[in-house]
Amino acid sequence: MVLKKSKLIIPITAKTPASALKDISKANKLADLIELRLDCLNNPSSGNIKALVKKSKKPVIATCRFKGEGGEFRGTEIEKSALLEDAIQAGAKYVDLELSMHADLRDYLAGLGARVILSHHDFEDTPLLSHLSNLFDRMQQQRPKAFAFKIVTFARDFEDNARTLMLSQMAAAKKLNLISFCMGDLGKASRILAPAYGGFAFFGSLSEKKNSAPGQITVEDLKKFGLVKK
């Protein structure tokens, strides 16, 4: 049973502003939210970021991931924060801030008006449910108070899917917005089932070449499961 309508997030991972603009035009027709991956852009500028946000007809999530967080950004945390600030100033409604980010920087960016999605990614494995639950509790105590949370792990075993799905169900019961699933080929089941367990949102890429994480499912394939209208 779907506890609430999950939102489809389409990530924009293009390297150039021109390609990103084309992808945003496609995403506008399908997505509930558009994630602008600033770390994927080659030499992003304030002007380019503003143009991309303005092109988006759906609410934008501004995201900039370090390489260690599964992204491509190689600058400093201050430089990363400046890009996120540019996106928020341009009109991004949401900003993805990692749990590992300094709390003072999170406070500053949150003060610019965007809703915070506090995120944590584990690219090694999927911890026990008790560990995930404790992590989720700790994230709820962080400042600033987040609008939504994201806990994504890597599936080493098919059973790992159940842990993230149970976490989603627990969050939904508390009426908390949580995005939780497993990455990797063995984690695809949790991506598909997350909406049925009350997940706040799920991801769909425009094509396999435009995936933002391992195991991500394309919008076309999500249509086969009835998660996206044909």
Residue 121 annotated as catalytic: yes
Residue 230's CB is within 10 A of a number of other CB atoms, namely 6
Catalytic residue among 55, 93, 120, 121: 121
Q: How far apart are CA 140 and CA 130, in angstroms?
A: 15
List C-alpha distances in Å: 4 to 51, 126, 129, 195, 197: 33, 25, 22, 8, 9
Could you tell me whether strands 33-37 and 201-203 are parallel, antiparallel, or unpaired per DSSP bridges? unpaired
Catalytic annotation present for 102: no
Catalytic, out of 7, 55, 150, 188: 150
CA–centroid distance for 142 within its chain: 18
Closest CA to 227 of 175, 174, 158, 181: 181
Active-site positions read 121, 150
